Amino acid sequence: MNRYGRMIQSALMLLPALLLLTFVAACGGAEAPAETAQPAAAQPASGGAPAAATQPTAMPETQDQPSGNVVDESQLPTDKVILGLITPIDDTVVPWLGGVDFVYQHSPFMEYLVQLDPYTSEWIPMLAKSWEMNATGDVWTFELEEGIQFHRDFGEFTAADVEHSFKLTCQKGTRASYKGGICNVDHVETLDPYNIRVHMVKPSAEYLFYAAESAGNMIYSKAQCDQAGGFDDAENVASEGCTNAYYEALAGTGPYQYDGREEEVHVDYSLAFPDGHWRHDPVYPEMRNTWVLEESTRLAQFRAEETHMTEVNRDLGDKLEAEEAGKFKIIPSNGPAQQTAFRFGGMFYADAENYDPDFPVTAPGEIGIKVRKALNKAVDRETFKEELYKGRVWDSKVHAFHPTLTPWNPKWDDDWEEEYGYDLEASKQLLAEAGYPEGFKITVPMYPFPGAPELPQIAQFMQLAWAEIGVELELRDEDRAAVVARRRNKANHETALATTPSFKAVEAQIMLFNTPKEDGGVVFMYETADLQNLYHQLQVTVDPVEREKVLFQIGDIKFYHHEWIPLFWVPIETIVNTNYICEWPFPGWEGGDLGSNELIEGPPC
């Protein structure tokens, strides 16, 4: 190991003491991903475009599917399974008042038109049992399930609930993360109570993504809202009575029902249909999600069996699994869940009012590209991969692009070493050519984020890496709300941030990260006129061959302009006590990444 690698190893070992607060966790301990050919996968998120044969990463092997819940309740150690989770960013039961990151607390009791298969990540039926896109991509037809009942006697799910749910998610003041795609709906045509046509404003080849838990577009009971005051169509907002009714006792159609919450402490659920749910019967009669920010507290609760599953960093996960053979077990998601990276603020090239050309990272033209390339070539990804992630990740090369989601350009593989390969001397030379031979300073805010334990370690790693080329990182513990507010107001100049976008449909990620607010953008990571024009072109392009051409152009800009510091595709890892939980298959990129709670299997293992 080189001197740089030893510095990183030492720093990572000291991080718990250095950072005082261990921000977030998503434990580790599974075997390293198999270096095998990537399995064939459906590509519902790419509008039917074929996957390229050349692939930059390998998917993990999927877990065996359980034979079903045949557990005798008398054999269960408890009636209530308790999940020890990281405090959500938005702690509210009303979904449109928060972003997609917090919808995992709705997973036990709310359902969607479409779901992700927890083993293959393919789109499969949920409340819609079939669907079809027309040739021009601007009309989607859904056939709905019949006989599905809402909790608390709010009646049968029908087409009226779908139309109502779209209104709720897209109402005035909504904070839905993917509203740019979810709300690309002109109107819902009801053919009969169980068949609808969704007419789009613009063609939407990736609409299944927006109709699924991946975007947080859940289905509400219209009857529950109407009973409490209804939806005000003139003002485009739910009445206060409707909102309060949902807040007090939101009714869904899922296996569990919502029983209440103690804010920032826990949420409780119980079986909604003791005689059997239409889709899947959970093992445990009750479930609780507990919220704890501090990793040390979550760990203590888990050891004391006050929780039966939790999130801790990979080092702790490995130690726990080795501590008592067979008692503690690491369960990873069934595929990549997050794309870890380092991104920059202030890259508003298409927004003259907010763009600052004087900071090195955001400098115009080739100067800015050289600076960002220099920063990329100063990162020893292989050392980082082994020291922090124990090798249990896959290389990431282009923001939002993965060969099971999009066509893949083999040129990005061919040019990776030249553009991103670790080379300190080349990095220093690039900085000198850009006019910054002595380096510069970047401020890095840090805050807790559910499901991503390595964010503070990523920041510490970058601090060490870039110190080698004279770039100083000032790490600051900050409240996430303040950081997000600066980002939304485009006041995050001269900053960088460790980040973990989810494994999502590429068009949705481009919208979120590369477009202005009027197009649905909320992150404003890298805005250029060319990217925005290509995004508009992608929106209206349905033909798979033509979509591939547009996607390659977008990918080239992202790759060769060095829009961020790509690191790895990462599976979410949880650790469970096998006295309570044997298996938990989940894809890892549902709305809040931790879903499919109803599939938790109890003992005997």
| Helix, strand, coil shares, percent, the chain, to 5 | 35, 20, 50
User: How much is the pLDDT for 71?
Assistant: 54
* pTM score of the predicted model: 0.81
Q: What is the pLDDT of residue 64?
A: 44
Q: What's the rounded Cα separation, in Å, for the pair 298 and 57? A: 32
pLDDT at 537: 95
DSSP secondary structure code for residue 353 in this structure: T
- The confidence score (pLDDT) of residue 120 equals 87
> How much is the pLDDT for 180?
86
Q: Between 3-19 and 381-389, two packed helices, what is the crossing angle to 10 degrees?
A: 40
Rounded CA separation 214/504 (Å): 7
Quote the pLDDT of residue 73.
67
Nearest to 41 by CA among 32, 28, 51: 51
Which among 590, 329, 449 has a CA at the least distance from the CA of 457?
Answer: 449
Distance between CA atoms of residues 347 and 324, nearest Å: 49
Are the beta carbons of 206 and 542 closer than 8 angstroms? no
pLDDT score for 11: 47
Q: Which two tokens stand for residue 413?
A: 């593989």
Q: Write down the H helix ranges in 401-516.
A: 410-414, 416-420, 424-434, 455-467, 480-488, 506-514
Cα–Cα distance for residue pair 377/260, rounded to 1 Å: 50
* Intervals of the chain under pLDDT 50: 1-70
**So what's the pLDDT on residue 26?**
31
What six digits make up the tokens of 48? 């039917």
Go through the domains of the chain in sequence order and give each one's CATH number: 3-13+336-568 (3.10.105.10), 110-253 (3.90.76.10)
34-51 b/e (C-beta count within 10 Å ≥ 16 → b): eeeebeebebbbbbbbeb
Upper half-sphere CA count for residue 219 (Cβ side, 13 Å) = 27
pLDDT in tens, 11-64: 444 443 333 333 333 333 333 333 323 323 333 333 333 233 233 333 334 344
- Selection from 313, 461, 448, 269 nearest residue 375 by Cα: 461
